[in-house]
Amino acid sequence: MEVLRLHGANDVRVHQEPEPVAGPGEELVRVTAVGLCGSDLHWYEDGGIGESVVDEPLVLGHELGGVVVSGPREGERVVVEPANTCGVCEACRVGNGNLCPNVRFLGHAPVHGGLREYMSWPQHLLLPVPDSIEGDHVALLEPLGIALHGIDLGHFKPGMSAGVYGAGPIGLFLIRALRAMGASRIVATDAKAHRVEAALASGADEAWLTEVDGQPDGIRDVPKVSVTFEAAGEDAALETALITAVPGGRVVVVGIPPTNRHAFSAGEARRKGLTVAWSRRMKFIHMLRAIEMAAHGTVSLDDMISATYTLDQGAQAFGDLVARNGLKIVVKPTP
């Protein structure tokens, strides 16, 4: 089978390898669609993320789905829950599996991800996909779940206003989900004009074009919002989230910065008494909610995928990801 491996910064190569064999409690999955994520971008550009580095060729990809090809569920379409948590640590016991220190996470070294034709994964982490969710849209369920987790961290309630700073796929799903959940007003920013337009099309009431390293002129004059979301991984977006939050409001940091540090004005946060919540992946319940909301059309998955590639076009796919062309980039390991 074909496998796309990351050998180091800006270096992905296709390999021919044997098909994996499903172990006890696992099933073999033919992978049909893999979304490329901001964390994949950091792995690709930097050869690592945070304190984790590529020390052997790594298979990326954790936003994925496919078809089960072994066992009693053979032929079933599934979305893959990428986090295989231990279930016994303190975080898992209190329902915070997304914080499990022993997690095996697809596409995060040393666990290989979905950019391959076949993979094996635990049965209970292969979730059925209703027919109402179209083929490649299966790769969008995980980022929708990430957005839903962020909204929960923001303590969002219907009628509240919100700011979303960074209108990539996660930011756009934040906007779509907030609108579906009854937001009274949504403000957005992005450094790409086409993503500003996508924010408006997704339900933002106003969207501002900004420089990557600054705030839009006049952003301090925008009426303050109840909860804000940093979804760009940039200090400037976090600063915008602090500026536009109401006194006593909540700021949720969803993006991953290019380095292992964030810098922001402490005075802005201190004078307003803001609560800053840091988002780490999502909980299992958020994937279930994402499937339900997408299946019923509560949150639309349409118009999010801007380009699809095969495994042997991997370098081009990652090039588009680095350039932030389009919206969601999907790689199709098999038809």
Q: What are the b/e assignments for 109-119, b being 16+ CB within 10 Å?
A: bebbbbbbbbb
Residue 52, pLDDT > 80, answer: no
Residue 3, pLDDT > 80, answer: yes
pLDDT in tens, 254-270: 998 877 788 888 888 99
What CATH topology corresponds to 2-134+301-331? Quinone Oxidoreductase; Chain A, domain 1 (3.90.180)
Q: What is the mean pLDDT of residues 81-98?
A: 95
Domain 144-278 CATH class label = alpha beta
Q: Which two tokens stand for residue 220?
A: 């301090």
How far is Cα 252 from Cα 221, in angstroms, rounded to an integer? Answer: 21
Q: What is the mean pLDDT of residues 79-108?
A: 95
- The domain limits of the chain are 2-134+301-331, 144-278
SS3 category, 176 = helix
Residue 50: partners with Cβ closer than 8 Å, 6 or more residues away: 260
pTM of the model: 0.93
How far is Cα 74 from Cα 67, in angstroms, rounded to an integer? Answer: 8
Topology agreement, domain 2-134+301-331 and domain 144-278: no
Which alpha helices (DSSP H) does 181-298 contain, by range? 193-202, 235-244, 266-272, 284-295
Q: Which two tokens stand for residue 16?
A: 């021919």
pLDDT in tens, 115-130: 999 999 999 999 999 9
* pLDDT band per the 50, 70, 90 thresholds, residue 47: confident
Q: What is the mean pLDDT of residues 308-325?
A: 92
Please name which of 176, 195, 175 lies closest in space to residue 187, comparing C-alpha atoms.
Answer: 175
Helix pair angle (169-180, 141-153), 10° resolution = 60
Residue 221, pLDDT > 90, answer: no
pLDDT in tens, 227-249: 999 999 889 999 999 999 999 99
